[in-house]
Amino acid sequence: MMSFEPLTPTAFLTRAAAAHADRTAVVDGDLRFTYEQFHERSARLAGALAPLADGRPVAVLAANTHQMLEAHFGVPWAGVPLVTINTRLSASEIGYILRHSRASVLIHDAAFDDTVAELPDLPVRIRTDDDYETRLDAARPLARGVDDERGLLSINYTSGTTGRPKGVMYHHRGAYLQALAMVGHTGLSPDSVHLWTLPMFHCNGWCFPWAVTAAAATHVCLPKVDPAIAWDLIRTEGVTHLEGAPTVLSMLGHAPQATPLPHPVRLATGGAPPTPTILRHMEGLGFDVTHLYGLTETYGPAMICDWRPEWNSADADTRARLKARQGVGNLIACTPRVVRTDGSDVPADGTTVGEIALRGNNLMLGYLDDPEATAAAAPDGWFRTGDLGVIHPDGYVELRDRSKDVIISGGENIASVEVEQVIAEHPAVLEVAVVAAPDERWGEVPAAYVALHAGATASADDIIEHVKARIARFKAPRSVVFGELPKTSTGKVQKYLLRKESHDRP
Amino acid sequence: MMSFEPLTPTAFLTRAAAAHADRTAVVDGDLRFTYEQFHERSARLAGALAPLADGRPVAVLAANTHQMLEAHFGVPWAGVPLVTINTRLSASEIGYILRHSRASVLIHDAAFDDTVAELPDLPVRIRTDDDYETRLDAARPLARGVDDERGLLSINYTSGTTGRPKGVMYHHRGAYLQALAMVGHTGLSPDSVHLWTLPMFHCNGWCFPWAVTAAAATHVCLPKVDPAIAWDLIRTEGVTHLEGAPTVLSMLGHAPQATPLPHPVRLATGGAPPTPTILRHMEGLGFDVTHLYGLTETYGPAMICDWRPEWNSADADTRARLKARQGVGNLIACTPRVVRTDGSDVPADGTTVGEIALRGNNLMLGYLDDPEATAAAAPDGWFRTGDLGVIHPDGYVELRDRSKDVIISGGENIASVEVEQVIAEHPAVLEVAVVAAPDERWGEVPAAYVALHAGATASADDIIEHVKARIARFKAPRSVVFGELPKTSTGKVQKYLLRKESHDRP
């Protein structure tokens, strides 16, 4: 059995510490740790946690800091699952996750002291300051191996559109392979510098804590997406890679600090469909944008709009339109399918809508303590994403709408994403969301919610006429509401709030 | 079990055919195949082979052609192991491999008709011309899945230090992971164009048939390393990646066609230690050189001289010296060790010599039908490479000498004992010793030292022709020196004196 080693993403830190010991692994404010130090600190964290955790998960409520990175290695090395918690949740939501996951230890930033004070008693709370450092100093390094590569690595709670969040269980093998796919697709290498604009609490940061380490690149922490700080770090640290939801792209791309990049930066975006407009804008600044698609259940990006060099010669609009598609399976995933409700494949004609179904080693083990939801999620072995889409003749999948989001107006289906893309092209528009509003005559009509660029102006009629001039008139919104869009902590527009608003409106 | 898919490198072609169907997969002379066609042809090959192979291996004796690439997918899809044979071996050596592997089918180029005519009967011989095409046309596509990811994928015969070559068994999981490591380390992507200067019969081309396909890059075939053709393809096809032994670097770098590259080309070299001189020369032409190290038993490169960006500021000589080191474990390998004969680690001081020992998922299953050699190869779970080296304080391993008596000529291993045994068979020969002599073109060549029987006569040409008539011609000595052999008091030939003599000779 000399040729069998269980796959675990923590092995990437072991390798990096051996191969790149004295190179910079982590930059966090004024702190800098080498790979040897990052390894040592993570192993000491494991040593400190193992006796406290007693086989139960360790939860972390922290920003994108070096402690959060250390937890991605130290907690598995303590032999227990990692539970990273969305920092924008309420105390009652956090309490639910801690109880549901049976977490034994909560590591948290001082910024969450008030929230933590409201939580029911936990055996151990560790604050990421002197407390954390004292415990590391006192601990002996530990790096427990993995017996079963499909053992539980982490539990990531979905924001859940209905009811309680579900605990998505990741295994070591899946995260290992997903991390290798991210290395391959984003070209991470030892001279890469990765800026943490994506929350690590979200799908374990799409497995980038492990991918960046695998490549022995440098992690640059960013506790909060402040565009001024982000732009400063891009320039001073020589950032080459970052990721984020389209919202993050908007924040960065339209910040006052935004100027053409001094060096190439690869930017991966996903979590919500980016509009061709924002893709074009970011490319104009010099970002090399990769569009990814996935869910918590798929360790983040299971699909990639794998860029074909032949498309480089297309005009900017065509390129942006092609890039707005969700694409094909990633390196290690099975080929995605688009299926009808009976599980059969829709034709690859770019028009027949079905549900996107995924499969592969980068699918979760299931939902913690919820065998029914687990079984329902993949009735025939293919995970149903809940997202509707089409397959184009070239094999690329494109989202048409969330299944619950379809606007049916006078018997015609309207894809809200299509209307959104057109509105986003209006020069005054920063962000847009379109939902269905009830209508006595048509059943439903599109309702638009628009955030304008700072200082820009546009009327509802301007927006409506803009749409009518470009696509079928029946797809134009009947109402336009201006203002900031409500968003989840991960930057997704909370359409259900807009839908509720549009329903309640007289 | 929706999240468990057995790892197999053939899955990369399935993905590429789905994601990049109409893009160019293979260029072979005037032929061009898209990924859809490459997939279809490989699946038809599987369909043609399955009934013929009857569960036994399929052997291939072919140059770096599209058929050779197709065999890397079609043979596993037929559910049987692939045996690629070194095209420079003699008929008797090839016959041994076919018998030992119990191959059922031999696919071969017409160029080897004469050799094949000397072989004992095999059930089926398929010539890579009309015969091959006719069979593909008549076959139905087949792509058999893998039940056990550690099942036998291929058998690669080593030249062996003693006696007969050994059949190194690769498994699907190992090749899959090794291919992902090659993608990560060489930055292969959909806009890469890979020139086949490395023989695919050698460790399955370091797993690049699968790695290049994983990245959906373009394979450019090159049946024979002709520098004029290679340089022409680099320019006309826009080649971005190639690999080869240092000998290949010399051939390319010193060809009359060699001029500074019109675009960046990543070149990976290994198989023998490259001299700083050739590394500097290739970088001067614009090649971005990566130095790799591995063996047949490790699916090719298990180690990489992972380049640290901090070294870019060093002068050219220092850079070349740093790059001539064998380096650190690759992305998916365990951290290499350098051990004493008792299995303990030598200190990382850059001077204490030990044997390089490797471990990881990219280690062979073992030697076919040779449990003793398999057990001896990894007495404590760590594979002993037979290569001596040191570990520098920065963790990088550097070869110092080989413990076994192997001559590396043009990237191919020659066991001196094998050549000695053949020479010893000459009726005039009393004693013989063969050592490595330096050679500008091949790196090393065998040099023979021969003591004749009293009164017997033989010329250097006699000895050389004697060898060429019996084993692969490249194993024949380039020089023969006659005279008494230097010996220790206990009668052992003092090879180090002969080695010194062969080095000092003009």
- B202 has pLDDT over 80: yes
Tokens encoding B76:
């596993």
Note the CATH number of domain B336-402: 2.30.38.10
Q: For A393-403, write each residue's pLDDT tens digit.
A: 999 999 986 55
Cβ contact B494:B486 at 8 Å: yes
Please name which of B337, B320, B341 lies closest in space to residue B329, comparing C-alpha atoms: B337
Residues A445-453: what's their mean pLDDT? Answer: 93
As a whole-number percent, the residues of chain A with pLDDT over 90 amount to: 76
Choice between A141 and A412, residue whose per-residue pLDDT is larger: A141
Query: Nearest residue on chain A to B14, judged by CA atoms?
Result: A335
* B379 to A69, A496, B127, B157: CA distances (angstroms): 37, 63, 42, 21
Written in H, E and C, the secondary structure of B245-273 is CHHHHHHHHCCCCCCCCCCCEEEEECCCC
The pLDDT, as a whole number, for residue A316 is: 86
For every residue of B11-39, DSSP letters joined together read HHHHHHHHHSTTSEEEEETTEEEEHHHHH
**Within 13 Å of residue A165, how many CA atoms lie on the same side as its CB?**
24
Q: For B43-88, write each residue's pLDDT tens digit.
A: 999 999 999 999 999 999 999 999 999 999 999 999 999 999 999 8
Q: Mean pLDDT over all residues of chain B?
A: 92
Please name which of B97, B73, B100, B102 lies closest in space to residue B87, comparing C-alpha atoms: B97
* B88 to B223, B240, B471, B474: CA distances (angstroms): 13, 28, 9, 7
- B1 has pLDDT over 50: no
CB nearest A21 (choices: B5, B23, B395): B395
Helices B276-285 & B246-253 angle (0-180, nearest 10): 50
- Taking CB atoms and an 8 Å limit, are B14 and A184 in contact across chains? no
Residues A159-181: what's their mean pLDDT? Answer: 87
Q: Which of A1, A3, A176, A183 best tests the B interface by mutation, with the highest count of B CBs <10 A?
A: A3
- Taking CB atoms and an 8 Å limit, are B2 and A363 in contact across chains? yes
CB nearest A190 (choices: B188, B308, B365): B308
Please name which of A243, A210, A304 lies closest in space to residue B331, comparing C-alpha atoms: A210
Please name which of A173, A178, A297 lies closest in space to residue B149, comparing C-alpha atoms: A173
Cβ contact A363:B3 at 8 Å: yes
Residues B193-219: what's their mean pLDDT? Answer: 97
The pLDDT, as a whole number, for residue A70 is: 98
Protein fold of A406-504:
GMP Synthetase; Chain A, domain 3 (3.30.300)
Instruction: Give B357's contacts in chain A (Cβ within 8 Å).
Output: none
Cβ contact B324:B310 at 8 Å: no
How far is residue B184's CA from residue A182's CA, in Å, rounded to a whole number? 9
Residues B275-304: what's their mean pLDDT? Answer: 92
Burial B292-308 (b: 16+ CB within 10 A, else e): bbbbbbbbbbbbbbbbb
Burial B81-109 (b: 16+ CB within 10 A, else e): bbbbbbbebbeebbbebbebbebbbbbbb
How far is residue A174's CA from residue A358's CA, in Å, rounded to a whole number? 14
- Taking CB atoms and an 8 Å limit, are B180 and A7 in contact across chains? no
- Taking CB atoms and an 8 Å limit, are A19 and B306 in contact across chains? yes
User: Beta A383-391 vs A58-61: how paired, if at all?
Assistant: unpaired
Instruction: Give the count of beta carbons closer than 10 Å to the beta carbon of residue A164.
Output: 13
- Indicate the domain borders of chain A: 1-178, 406-504
- B276 has pLDDT over 80: no
Cβ contact B104:B10 at 8 Å: no
Cβ contact A464:A477 at 8 Å: yes
CB pairs under 8 A between A and B: 141
Tokens encoding A489:
């902590």
Instruction: Give A15's contacts in chain B (Cβ within 8 Å).
Output: 328-329, 331, 333, 335
Q: For A71-130, write each residue's pLDDT tens digit.
A: 999 999 999 999 999 998 888 889 999 999 999 999 999 999 999 999 877 779 999 999
Tokens encoding B41:
């042809």
Tokens encoding A345:
């494949």
Residue A281 parent element (H or E): helix A276-284
Non-local (6+) Cβ contacts of A267 within 8 A are A241, A242, A243, A244, A249, A282, A287, A288, A289, A290
Burial of A1 (0-12, 13-18, 19+ CB in 10 A): exposed
Please name which of B404, B492, B489, B418 lies closest in space to residue B448, comparing C-alpha atoms: B418
Most trustworthy range by pLDDT among A211-215, A427-431, B88-92: A211-215
- B161 has pLDDT over 60: no
How far is residue A405's CA from residue A413's CA, in Å, rounded to a whole number? 10
Helix (H, G, I), strand (E, B) or coil at A163: coil
- B496 has pLDDT over 80: no
Residue B156 parent element (H or E): strand B152-157
How far is residue A91's CA from residue B283's CA, in Å, rounded to a whole number? 59
Cβ contact B214:B25 at 8 Å: no
Query: Nearest residue on chain B to A21, judged by CA atoms?
Result: B394
Q: Mean pLDDT over all residues of chain A?
A: 92
How far is residue A175's CA from residue A200's CA, in Å, rounded to a whole number? 14
Instruction: Give the count of beta carbons closer than 10 Å to the beta carbon of residue A442.
Output: 17
CB nearest B190 (choices: A12, A18, A306): A306
The pLDDT, as a whole number, for residue B132 is: 98
- A412 has pLDDT over 80: no
Non-local (6+) Cβ contacts of B461 within 8 A are none
Q: For B479-495, write each residue's pLDDT tens digit.
A: 999 998 887 655 567 78
How far is residue A61's CA from residue A200's CA, in Å, rounded to a whole number? 10
The pLDDT, as a whole number, for residue A160 is: 52
The pLDDT, as a whole number, for residue A401 is: 64
Non-local (6+) Cβ contacts of B344 within 8 A are none
Helix (H, G, I), strand (E, B) or coil at B135: helix
Most trustworthy range by pLDDT among A15-19, A384-388, B2-6, B425-429: A15-19
How far is residue B278's CA from residue B320's CA, in Å, rounded to a whole number? 9
Q: For B109-157, write each residue's pLDDT tens digit.
A: 999 999 999 997 777 999 999 999 999 999 999 999 999 999 999 999 9
Cβ contact A143:A43 at 8 Å: yes
How far is residue B181's CA from residue B191's CA, in Å, rounded to a whole number? 18
- Taking CB atoms and an 8 Å limit, are A306 and B382 in contact across chains? no
Instruction: Give the count of beta carbons closer than 10 Å to the beta carbon of residue A479.
Output: 15
Cβ contact A167:A368 at 8 Å: yes
Residues B357-385: what's their mean pLDDT? Answer: 95
Instruction: Give A8's contacts in chain B (Cβ within 8 Å).
Output: none
Second-level CATH architecture of A1-178: 3-Layer(aba) Sandwich (3.40)
- B403 has pLDDT over 60: no
Non-local (6+) Cβ contacts of A15 within 8 A are A214, A216, B328, B329, B331, B333, B335
Check the CA dihedral B473-B477-B480-B485 and report its sign.
Answer: negative
Beta-strand ranges (E) seen in A20-172 are: 24-28, 31-34, 58-61, 82-84, 105-108, 124-127, 152-157, 167-171
Q: Is B1-187 a CATH 3.40.50.980 domain?
A: yes
Q: Which of A2, A5, A12 best tests the B interface by mutation, with the highest count of B CBs <10 A?
A: A2
Residue B390 parent element (H or E): strand B383-391
Instruction: Give A307's contacts in chain B (Cβ within 8 Å).
Output: 190-191
pLDDT tier for residue A472 given thresholds of 50, 70 and 90: confident
pLDDT tier for residue A506 given thresholds of 50, 70 and 90: low
- A1 has pLDDT over 90: no
How far is residue A83's CA from residue A76's CA, in Å, rounded to a whole number? 11
pLDDT tier for residue A305 given thresholds of 50, 70 and 90: very high
The pLDDT, as a whole number, for residue B419 is: 87
